[in-house]
Amino acid sequence: MKIIQYIKEQINVTKEKDPSIKSTMEVFLYPSFKALLYYKISNYLYNKKHYFLARYISERAKRKTGIEIHPGCKIGKRLFIDHGMGVVIGETTEIGDDVIIYQGATLGTTGKVKGKRHPIIGDNVLIGAGAKLLGPLKIENNAKIGAGAVVLKDVPKNTTVVGIPARVVKVNNDITDKPNQYLKDPIFNKIDDIIDTLKLL
């Protein structure tokens, strides 16, 4: 019964998040829908310690959908992966409710470390196309990660970050003139130094 409820929920989420869908049947063509259904099964098996079977199912899902979700990760309600090709979600990743992830995003690690090594994603987070979130960092509720951003540090709630390395550009929908206020960026630090020097001159 739970799996039927899950399927209904994912159908509704997919239709709600993607305005291009014209009918319910189209949802069954979406790689996101298939990948998350495979994940649900593989995660159940993983939690029952059937590790090989869980990985076998997740590897099949990766080949069929282009989306790699480790069966050991934790995913909340109503996750939507738009387009999906190239998305990677690592083993110790934790994802909250109502998260949107675009194609090419990586929720990965910075090396071959053991234990907690992948990101924690809060509720209502948006992760842009090609973004890389690396290490056991925390992305708090309502944060937005810009396309192509490389995030190596925690991101506060209601904050938008962009760039390499990621830096804050919005807080509570207000554009900030101090992008390094939350995430230190050596480029902006140098620019600040130049501005200070110019003021002195």
pLDDT (tens place) for every residue of the chain, 201 residues total:
577 888 888 888 888 888 888 888 999 988 999 999 999 999 999 999 999 999 999 999 999 999 999 999 999 999 999 988 999 999 999 999 999 999 999 999 987 778 899 999 999 999 999 999 999 999 999 999 999 999 999 999 999 999 988 888 878 766 665 555 555 556 667 787 888 888 888
How many helices (H) and strands (E) the chain has is answered by 5, 16
Residue 83 and residue 17 share a domain: no
The domain boundary residue, chosen from 72, 100, 121: 72
Which among 48, 72, 96 is the end of a domain?
72
What pLDDT score was predicted for residue 198? 87
Task: Supply the pTM of this predicted model.
Answer: 0.81
Residue 165 is predicted with a pLDDT of 87
Residues 61 and 83 in one domain: no
Partner residues linked to 113 by β-bridges:
none
**Is the same domain home to 58 and 125?**
no
Domain boundary among 72, 106, 122: 72
Domain residues for the domain of 184 are 75-201
pLDDT score, position 5: 85
**What is the rounded distance in angstroms from the CA atom of residue 166 to the CA atom of residue 33?**
30
Domain count, the chain: 2
176 closest CA partner among 190, 165, 160: 160
